[in-house]
Chains A and B, each alone.
Chain A
Amino acid sequence: MVAPLLLKNGRVIDPANGLDGIRDLLLVEGKIAAVTLPGEVDGPAGVETLDLAGKWVVPGLIDMHVHLREPGQEHKETIETGTLAAAAGGFTAVACMPNTKPVNDNEAVTQLILAKAAARGSARVYPVGAISSGSRGEALAEYGEMKQAGVVAVTDDGLPVVNSQLMRRALEYAGNHELLVISHAEEPTLSQNGAMNDGALATRLGLRGIPHVAEEIMVYRDLALAQYTGRPIHIAHVSTRESVDLIRRAKAKGVAVTAETAPHYFTLTEAAVDQYNTRAKMNPPLRRQADVDAIRQGLRDGTLDAIATDHAPHSELDKDVEFDLAANGIIGLETAVPLTLRLVREGILEAGGMIALLSVNPARILGVGGGALSVGAVADVTVIDPEKEFVYGPEAVHSKSVNSPFLGWQFKGKAVLTILAGRVTYSDFPG
């Protein structure tokens, strides 16, 4: 039985309910029992009470794009450590990509992920299944079976679906099982062997470039297929200006498209890979300032619906090698809140907009619950201290891997309390 908890005097930001004000929140039996003006609710006798003046009380954050590495690459991350990192970053739910070993293209892997999450998880885990069997890009995976087992969407993330007919069929068939199709947009004949964004810096470093059109061509193809089939598509990790523009125009035409970007794409440029810094190597690669600016604009005007971290743990064995050979990806669960808060302080996002991008929007895109602080809803709640300053050092990382370009950064603002169904999964409080 979960003990009741009274969260007093916090700034409750709940975009799903149009609420942004000082409120008290009473959590009883893992549910939200009351949301009231300060002092209007007492709770049961002896209830643990936290004074959250100056803090934000928001719906439990949802990261719709993470790699938990289990099964198969447990030396990088496990469901236990990955969800611990999620909780430490303020997330109460994550959607995990299917590029495990073996690939999550069947109910057995899906069930294994859910069983591990139930036994040792610190966050809800929503498995995402593969689009194609083995993510080999040839035949459709068994969506019906996976859906029954618990997947919430399908993607071959990590790899593009090269075969356009397969992508068309995936969109069509996913409709039978009400599964969202998530596109990792990359035209591989343009990106192959590439190690970073194409351009002057790649030339100077002698690294093969990945041109931004490699992403945009596939974004366009998948928007066209979504329009043609009348089925929704979600574009993962948008990194370029032109992709944002394509999505904006498709939305204006009524195409059922949603899109996410990651904090690194609105924070860093390709300059972060200078000196062959493999901790800034990822796919899609970091781009240029004009792309960063366009992504910020896309978040501001609603073209981009969600912020997802693409949390991609890798060990030193995968990263302390020649740049060409280094694995793509960075961890992101524990830096998403501080990095997104920078956009709020810069006036690019309102607090409510930030929280929507990290909670109710991904919940709606995936068709999962959560993302709102409604009375009666499950008590997934995150408390953010927007003023708390800290240095992000490797010793503070909860993930099993430390491959982050943000190590050593001075941040202002972080999640200080994460509550999953009324139970505290992370506390840095009082801080």
Chain B
Amino acid sequence: MYSTHRFSHKHILGLADLSVEDMGLILQTAESFKEISTRAIKKVPTLRGKTIVNLFFEPSTRTRLSFEVAAKRMSADTFNISGSGSSTVKGETLIDTARNLDAMNPDCIILRHSRSGSPRLLADHIDASVINAGDGTHEHPSQGLLDLMTVKEAKGTISGLKIAIIGDIAHSRVAHSNIIGFSKMGATVAVAGPATLIPPGVEEMGATVCGSVAKAVEDADVIMALRIQKERQHDPLLPSLREYANFFGVSQKLVGAAKPDAIIMHPGPINRGVELDPKIADGSRSVILDQVTNGVAVRMALIYLIMGGD
């Protein structure tokens, strides 16, 4: 059904910019790429001669590795530049860094940055395509898409499902992309957590705010726990991680209120025993490792589509 849709985006800055058709095409493309990862020789020549730069200003082994593997499986040349090794610590601005990189004619820059909106700034000042690999507390579109793919694989569909997202909605770019992505694809997204971590106006992104975690999880098809941090920049958000675990952690008991076949997700890395009971994280309902596998396929699809494949 999506084969006639043409992907017209030069950049992937957030799921807010993508239509249902765009996301459908990305997922369909990712499904076809997933097979490559099961081959004995896990490499196709699709992007031979293309140059991809991983520009990471925040430490992230998982996402960077996932993008790098995705690019290499399609035979692109990849370069990694990390924040500590780059010139931005010497006072060079993001725009200067980008222009210097652009002078080397990369086809695509994958940016991870602690400031919301950085990928937009980069995209406005360079010729290469930009993929947002997580910016501040804004979006993490490739994570949102791999979560969509994982749920679609497990449930066969996304439309009509109830997705419960528990925890720090305010500071989680993963939560933001997931709320936008799942609600656009026709799922109901229920969020819950300490009121200090539920941002104002999150309903306008497509979420329903629940007064209790139990209410959010009730009859859910998917439970997603988010990584928790006790405080950010002198903002007293929580009394303690212990209190959080007791009242907002995803426990065995809580999972019992969801649908019997509900799946458990987490964007990682997990604070075991805080936001997620370790038995659940490692249990049969957990699809956390599928999320990692699908991450590579989704990132292959994103790189492929913005480089003009269709």
Contacts and interface: CB of A to CB of B under 8 A. Distances in A.
A104 to B, nearest CB: 29
A206 B138 contact: yes
Nearest to B118: A322
B121 A321 contact: yes
Interface string B96-125: 000000000000000001011110110001
B117 A199 contact: no
Given A321-B94, A321-B95, A324-B136, A203 B202 contact: yes
B120 A276 contact: yes
A192 interface: yes
A275 interface: yes
A198 B202 CA distance: 12
B116 to A, nearest CB: 3
B176 interface: yes
B100 to A, nearest CB: 15
Contacts of A322: 94, 113, 115-118, 121
A206 B136 CA distance: 7
Contacts of A202: 199-201
A193 interface: yes
B139 interface: yes
Contact of B205 (A203, A207, A320, A324): A203
A324 B115 contact: yes
A323 interface: yes
Contacts of A321: 93-95, 121
Contacts of A201: 201
B275 interface: no
A209 interface: yes
B16 interface: yes
Contact of B116 (A192, A200, A317, A323): A323
B117 A207 contact: yes
Contact of A206 (B121, B125, B137, B233): B137
A364 to B, nearest CB: 40
A204 interface: yes
Given A192-B234, A206-B136, A206-B137, A200 B117 contact: no
A375 interface: no
A275 B117 CA distance: 8
Contacts of A193: 233
Interface string B162-178: 00000000100100100
Contact of B200 (A198, A275, A320, A324): A198
B189 to A, nearest CB: 14
Interface in B171-225: 173, 176, 199-205
A205 interface: yes
Given A192-B234, A322-B94, A322-B118, A204 B200 contact: no
A277 to B, nearest CB: 10
Interface in A268-325: 275-276, 317, 320-325
Given A206-B116, A321-B121, A323-B116, A200 B95 contact: no
Q: How large is the interface on A (under 10, 10 to 19, 20 to 34, 35 or more residues)?
A: 20 to 34
B116 A207 contact: yes
Of B113, B201, B204, chain A has the most CB atoms within 10 Å of the CB of B201
Interface string A202-229: 1111111100000000000000000000
A209 B200 contact: yes
A276 B94 CA distance: 15
Interface residues of B, number: 29
A199 B200 contact: yes
B147 interface: no
A276 B135 CA distance: 13
A91 B113 CA distance: 43
A276 B119 CA distance: 10
B109 to A, nearest CB: 15
Contacts of A276: 116-117, 120-121
Contacts of B199: 202-203
Nearest to B200: A199
A233 B234 CA distance: 32
A67 B233 CA distance: 30
Contacts of B200: 198-200, 202-203, 209
Interface in B235-292: none
Contacts of B203: 200
A171 B104 CA distance: 60
B94 A205 contact: no
B191 to A, nearest CB: 12
B26 to A, nearest CB: 21
A281 B74 CA distance: 42
A323 B137 CA distance: 13
A376 B111 CA distance: 66
Contacts of B201: 199-204
Contacts of B117: 205-207, 276, 322-324
A296 to B, nearest CB: 24
A317 B125 CA distance: 14
A207 B114 CA distance: 11
Contact of B176 (A198, A206, A323): A206
Nearest to A204: B205
A98 to B, nearest CB: 28
B95 to A, nearest CB: 6
B95 A320 contact: yes
A200 B204 CA distance: 7
A55 B182 CA distance: 58
19 contacts: A200-B200, A200-B201, A200-B202, A200-B205, A203-B204, A204-B204, A205-B116, A206-B135, A206-B138, A206-B173, A206-B176, A207-B136, A207-B137, A276-B120, A321-B95, A321-B121, A322-B118, A322-B121, A324-B117
Given A206-B173, A320-B93, A322-B121, 18 more contacts: A199-B201, A200-B200, A200-B201, A201-B201, A202-B200, A202-B201, A203-B200, A203-B201, A206-B116, A206-B135, A276-B116, A276-B121, A321-B93, A322-B113, A322-B116, A323-B115, A324-B115, A324-B136
Interface of B: 16, 93-95, 113, 115-118, 120-121, 125, 135-139, 170, 173, 176, 199-205, 233-234
Which 9 pairs across A and B sit closest by C-beta, in order of nearness? A200-B201, A206-B138, A206-B116, A276-B117, A322-B115, A206-B137, A203-B199, A200-B204, A323-B117
